Every structure is written in structure tokens, then in C-alpha cells.
């Protein structure tokens, strides 16, 4: 089943160690290709505040050659001894990781005083680049199956890293600390790779504590404990994974403040929106996974990546979602078709130049032998003394250099000139694409938002703001397009209005009169002896009847009791609707050793009635079709079952979990 979702807005770099793609930068400006120790740097891939990335090639005997990526620390960071010691320690830890979903580190060292990490070359694009390319090509929806495939790959790689032990069996306690769209790459063969484990944290001895402002990760993907500067563990990576899953499947940023401080406030202090509040028809089972990963309390979060992976795989099976490496490969290759062609041409040109540089190596080796100096490459330069220039061997070398200049050197000059011309054309094209937008597109508008009562949350085009009413929202576009403003508050109906700002009318006012929620939820819980706790949208209630619930929004109801399995369901209420839930809790049975028989709960069958308001839908139970609504008297085994309602008009499917009592009837009603 394919369920496309809108692509998230490209995340802005809000601090942290990520590198930005190199902009308007040519190989000739960097003097590339050039030797760097035993590697040849071909072209610049990205540059950040602490390091720069190069595509490089490593050559050895018998025609061995391998594409790699060199991450070279900037000279300013090389002066920080504590930083270098920490980097080398953590890179050594990361080099022990060998897994299909983690980029492999091959080498760590320094050349001419510049420290570097040599890592696996991954032919693909990170999540941020994928989203940008989708917007550029007008692809408006991120397929759900690909979002889940990416998240499953992340969970698999994180599970391996988090569980990694040394040769003595001691847990390394590795935490990535910077799971974000820039650090997850999808290859053009459909693989998912986590990058930058070279800056991961481990619990091994001898590690320097991270200094303020360095290697802390990107703010919009920090867990609450990481944002507060507390000690973190593997569960912090799972929170970041939950943020990415939310954004990939809703098409909206989760934490997007006007500044880093405002973003940190969103993470630490505000309630998080549920995916179904952002995107109508969001699968309830997937929402449960997302919200568990996003729990502020890490004790209520997924405790291991394998637990999150298991729930995602169960969701894929139950919903029959076509997660496929082949389909992801086709998606990537179609999206970056033009770029793949140009990359192939650039790589061929760079390799030709690298071959020319490599061809000079034997002559410099002879020179080193003559002067009695041993070198490992072109990193050190050597000259002949005046006396040696007069010797026969010096004349022979000079003659060979003349031949080199006339032959290989001539080709080098030609290729260099051709490369410079191509790079200049590319720079001109890039400059044309990045010209400033017309003045009419400048975000200079503002809206004053107030509400009665005050203290309501403000949403702008689906994004939750840090502000609460009354507030002035600035830096809004004045391009004449409608801006949707939603005001929400617990116990009240959501108030939706839209405004249009232009250069001539850049300001507007929105006044929201909040109406009490009109939906009432009534719950009957069995067996009679239990003392249940009712939780609605994360808030606990002492009563079995709850009023003032907003209509038109998706809500999650959970019924729990000591010694019983939690019952959860999602619903959307219509104005003035009273929703009744007849819940029979099932006794919790602890796991027992293999071969030991246990009482698995009530035996027997029950019945299920399924209805729908606002339209009709096709009903399936545990994946088996049961016909169109209304459906009554579906005979099922007592216990928990998954019910799915698929509208016939193409609207998104809704799902719910119901408990069928022994010799009783369970009822489920969907609002379309």
C-alpha cells in the first residue's frame, strides 16, 4: 500500500558539526586534484565550521584503486589539542564499527599537520538533499514506504552501534549524538547509511568531555536531555530518529523556532503536536510509534533501537506497505537522473588528472633515492643541489623531466585548462540560479494574533510556533498567497482563519473567539473489579466521562489498569457527538520459558460491529476484508484485533485496535 506524504521543508542548519555543500567553488580554486599523503583529493564535497570533505582516490600496487571520502579538519581546529585528542579517540572507536547501515571509517591520521579521517565513499544523497531535489523537480509527496524504509535502516544501524562491545566483551556505550537529515544518506542502490559516527560519544576510558559548542549535534533534532546539557545515552538517538520519522511522514518540521533558544524551548517546554494534528488520516499505529519515540521522559521512550525497529516492521506487515530496496533505488535514480550523469563525467575527468599526478610518482621516487631522502608521496618537496645538478644522474633525471613536460605534462595542462573552463561555466550557472528573489517575495509581513481566552497555541501553515496568544508573528511572506492560521487550546475547538499579505498590505489582525469543545467521550470498562486510568491525548483523567473535547481533530484514548494490557484507540469526533467506548481489558501474562504452558486469557469467541459516519468505507479486520459499512456480527476470537476503514472516495484509511469480549460484542465507529 502506498501512502504518499508531503515533503518536509528543507531543514536549516541550526548549529552543530554538519557541513554545508561547497558553493560556487571550483577545483582550480582549491588546486585539485592534488596529493594528500597516500591519497589524491579529486574535488571538494562540502565545507563546514570544523572540517571539509573531499572525494579522494587511493591507489596501490597491481592497479588497486578505491574511491574514498577524506574529512580534513580545518587548520583553526588543529590548534585545539583537547579537540584533536577527543576526535582521534572517538574515530578509533567508530573505526571498529562494520555494518551495512553505517559508513565505515578506514583511516585516521595527519598530513602536514592537518588531521583527517578517511571513510567509505557512499554514492548517494542525504535526506536534506533529497527533499531539496524533490522541491526542485516539483515532486510534492514523499512516499510513506520510503520514509519507513529509511527509518528502518537507521534503527538497524543504531541497534548495532549501541550494542557494540570491545574484544573483552565490555559495552562501548556508543551514542551518535547527531542523528539528523544531513547525517543519513540514501544510496543510488537503495541502501541507508548513517554517517559521522566518527564524532560519536562512547563510555570508554580516556575520553575528553565535549567542550561547549563542539560536536553537540543539531538543535532541532536534540532530545530534551541533550538540549538541557544532561548525560545522554542511546535513547537520545532514538528521540532524534522519532523527529525525523515525524517530519518525513507529515511533511512538516517538528521543532522550528526563530532562534536556537526558541527551538530549545519548543523541545524542552512545549507539548509536541501529534502527527494526526498535522496531517489528516495519519495512520494511528504509526502515530503511536512516533509519539513513543518522542516521549520527553526517556523511561517512557523506546529503550532500544531494536524495539522501535520491531514495531515499525509489525506496522509494515499489518498495513501491507510495500517497503522495497528496488523501489527506493528507482526513486533515487529518477530523482537525481541529471546529477548522476554529471557526476560520472566529473569523476572521469578527476580520475584522469589523478592518473597524471600518479604517473609523476616514480620520477620523484628516483629523485628521493638520488638525494638519499625517503618519502611516502608528494607531500614533501625535494630539490637537487648545485653539485648534484652537474652529475650524470642529474642530467638523466632532467632529460626525463623534459619528456614528462612534453608528454604527460602537456596533457595535464590541457586537462587543467578544460576543467577550469567547465568549472567557470558551472559557477556562472550556479550564480544565475541563486540570484536574489524579487522584492515582492521578501518575508516582511506580520500578523497580530489574539484569542479569548488567551494563552492559546498558534500554528502558521501547519507549523507550531513558540508564541502563545496574544502575539505578533513577524517575517511572513507578502506574496499574495493565503496563510493559514490555526489557534488551539485544550478544552476548546480549534479556530482556523486565513490571511493574505501583500507589499501594499503587509499587516493583518486575527482575533479568535474560542468555543468550548463539543465532543463527549464516555467509557465503560470491564471486568467490573478493575480500577482503570483513562488517558486522553497524554492527559490522565479520574472520570470515565470526559467533555469539552475538540471536534475535527484526531485524539488518542488509552485505558489502563494494574495487571492488564493497555487498550488504545484513536478517534475523530464530530460537533456535538457523544462517543462511547465499551472496553474489556485483557489480563497481562508475563513471558515464560520455552515449553511452559500458561493461561493466555479468556477462551472463546465474540462479535464485532463496525460503522462509519460522514460516508462509508471498506472494512478489514487483521488484514482480512469484511465488506462495506455498516458491518455487523463479525465473529472473531476473543482478544485484540486490528480494524481498518478504507473510504471508497480515496481518502486516507483509518485504523483502530479493538478488544472483542468472550460471548460479547465490540463496537467501533469511524468518522470520515
Q: Which residues form the catalytic set?
A: 178
HSE (side-chain half, CA atoms, 13 Å) at 214: 15
Instruction: Cite the beta strand spans of 432-518 per DSSP E.
Output: 443-452, 457-460, 463-468, 471-477, 482-488, 495-500, 507-513
3-state per-residue secondary structure call for 73-119:
ECHHHHCCHHHHHHHHHHHHHHCCCCCCCECCEEEEEEECCEEEEEE
What is the C-alpha end-to-end distance of the chain, expressed in Å? 20
Report how far residue 392's alpha carbon sits from residue 362's, in angstroms, rounded to the nearest whole number. 19
Q: Is 507 helix (H, G, I), strand (E, B) or coil?
A: strand
Peptide bond preceding 287: is omega within 30 degrees of 0, i.e. cis?
no
Q: How far is CA 260 from CA 178, 214, 255, 471, 585, in A?
A: 16, 15, 10, 19, 45
DSSP label of 490: T
Residue with cell 544565475: 432
Strand partners, 55: 43, 69
Q: How many CB atoms lie within 10 A of CB 55?
A: 21
Report how far residue 432's alpha carbon sits from residue 416's, in angstroms, rounded to the nearest whole number. 24
Quick check: 90 and 204 in contact, CB under 8 A?
no
Amino acid at each position: 500500500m502506498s501512502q504518499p506524504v508531503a515533503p518536509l521543508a528543507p531543514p536549516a542548519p541550526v548549529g552543530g558539526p554538519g557541513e554545508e555543500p561547497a558553493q560556487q567553488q571550483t577545483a582550480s580554486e582549491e588546486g585539485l586534484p592534488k596529493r594528500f599523503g597516500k591519497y589524491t583529493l579529486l574535488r571538494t564535497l562540502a565545507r563546514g565550521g570544523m572540517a571539509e570533505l573531499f572525494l579522494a582516490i587511493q591507489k596501490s600496487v597491481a592497479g588497486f584503486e578505491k574511491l574514498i571520502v577524506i574529512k580534513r579538519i580545518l587548520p583553526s581546529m588543529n590548534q585545539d589539542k583537547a579537540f584533536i585528542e577527543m576526535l582521534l579517540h572517538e574515530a578509533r572507536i567508530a573505526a571498529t564499527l562494520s555494518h551495512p547501515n553505517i559508513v565505515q571509517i578506514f583511516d585516521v591520521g595527519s598530513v602536514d599537520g592537518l588531521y583527517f579521517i578517511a571513510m567509505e565513499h557512499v554514492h548517494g544523497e542525504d535526506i536534506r538533499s533529497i527533499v531539496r531535489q524533490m522541491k526542485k523537480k516539483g515532486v510534492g509527496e514523499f512516499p510513506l514506504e520510503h520514509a519507513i524504509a529509511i527509518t528502518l535502516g537507521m534503527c538497524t544501524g543504531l541497534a548495532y552501534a549501541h550494542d557494540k562491545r570491545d574484544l573483552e566483551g565490555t559495552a562501548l556505550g556508543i551514542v551518535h549524538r547527531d542523528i539528523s537529515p544531513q547525517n543519513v544518506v540514501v544510496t543510488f542502490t537503495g541502501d541507508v547509511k548513517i554517517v559521522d559516527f566518527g564524532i560519536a560519544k562512547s563510555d570508554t576510558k580516556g575520553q575528553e568531555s565535549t567542550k561547549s559548542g563542539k560536536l553537540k549535534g543539531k538543535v532541532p533534532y536534540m532530545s530534551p536531555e541533550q538540549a538541557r546539557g544532561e548525560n545522554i545515552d542511546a535513547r537520545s538517538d532514538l528521540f532524534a530518529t522519532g523527529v525525523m520519522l515525524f517530519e518525513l511522514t507529515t511533511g512538516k518540521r517538528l521543532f522550528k523556532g526563530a532562534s536556537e533558544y526558541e527551538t530549545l524551548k519548543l523541545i524542552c517546554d512545549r507539548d509536541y503536536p501529534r502527527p494526526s494534528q498535522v496531517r489528516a488520516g495519519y495512520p494511528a499505529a504509526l502515530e503511536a510509534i512516533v509519539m513513543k519515540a518522542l516521549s520527553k521522559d526517556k523511561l517512557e521512550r523506546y529503550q532500544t533501537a531494536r524495539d522501535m525497529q520491531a514495531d515499525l516492521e509489525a506496522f509494515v506487515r499489518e498495513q501491507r506497505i510495500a517497503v522495497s530496496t528496488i523501489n527506493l533505488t528507482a526513486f533515487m535514480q529518477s530523482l537525481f537522473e541529471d546529477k548522476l550523469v554529471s557526476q560520472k563525467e566529473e569523476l572521469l575527468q578527476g580520475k584522469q588528472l589523478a592518473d597524471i599526478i600518479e604517473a609523476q610518482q616514480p620520477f620523484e621516487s628516483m629523485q628521493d633515492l638520488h638525494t638519499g631522502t625517503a618519502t611516502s608521496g608528494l607531500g614533501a618537496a625535494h630539490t637537487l643541489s648545485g653539485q648534484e645538478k652537474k652529475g650524470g644522474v642529474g642530467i638523466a633525471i632532467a632529460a626525463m623531466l623534459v619528456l614528462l613536460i612534453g608528454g604527460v605534462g602537456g596533457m595535464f595542462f590541457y586537462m587543467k585548462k578544460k576543467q577550469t573552463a567547465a568549472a567557470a561555466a558551472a559557477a556562472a550557472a550556479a550564480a544565475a540560479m541563486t540570484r536574489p528573489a524579487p522584492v515582492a517575495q521578501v518575508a516582511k509581513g506580520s500578523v497580530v494574533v489574539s484569542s479569548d481566552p488567551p494563552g492559546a497555541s498558534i500554528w502558521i501553515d501547519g507549523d507550531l510556533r513558540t508564541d502563545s496568544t496574544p502575539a505578533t508573528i513577524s517575517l511572513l511572506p507578502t506574496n499574495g498567497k493565503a496563510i493559514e492560521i490555526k489557534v488551539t487550546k485544550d478544552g476548546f475547538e480549534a479556530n482556523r482563519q486565513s490571511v493574505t499579505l501583500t507589499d501594499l498590505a503587509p499587516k493583518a489582525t486575527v482575533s479568535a473567539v474560542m468555543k468550548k469543545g463539543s465532543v463527549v467521550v464516555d467509557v465503560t470498562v470491564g471486568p467490573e473489579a478493575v480500577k482503570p486510568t483513562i488517558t486522553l491525548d497524554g492527559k490522565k483523567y479520574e472520570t470515565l466521562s470526559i467533555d469539552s473535547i475538540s471536534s475535527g481533530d484526531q485524539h488518542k484514548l488509552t485505558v489502563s489498569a494494574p495487571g492488564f494490557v493497555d487498550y488504545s484507540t484513536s478517534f475523530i469526533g464530530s460537533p456535538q457527538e457523544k462517543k462511547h467506548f465499551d472496553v474489556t481489558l485483557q489480563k497481562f501474562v508475563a513471558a515464560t520459558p520455552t515449553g511452559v504452558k500458561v493461561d493466555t486469557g479468556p477462551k472463546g469467541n465474540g462479535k464485532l460491529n463496525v460503522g462509519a459516519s460522514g460516508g462509508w468505507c471498506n472494512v478489514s479486520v487483521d488484514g482480512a476484508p469484511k465488506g462495506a459499512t455498516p458491518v455487523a456480527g463479525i465473529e472473531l476470537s476473543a482478544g485484540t484485533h486490528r480494524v481498518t476503514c478504507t473510504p471508497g472516495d480515496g481518502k486516507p484509511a483509518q485504523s483502530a485496535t479493538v478488544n472483542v469480549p468472550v460471548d460479547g460484542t465490540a463496537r467501533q465507529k469511524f468518522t470520515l
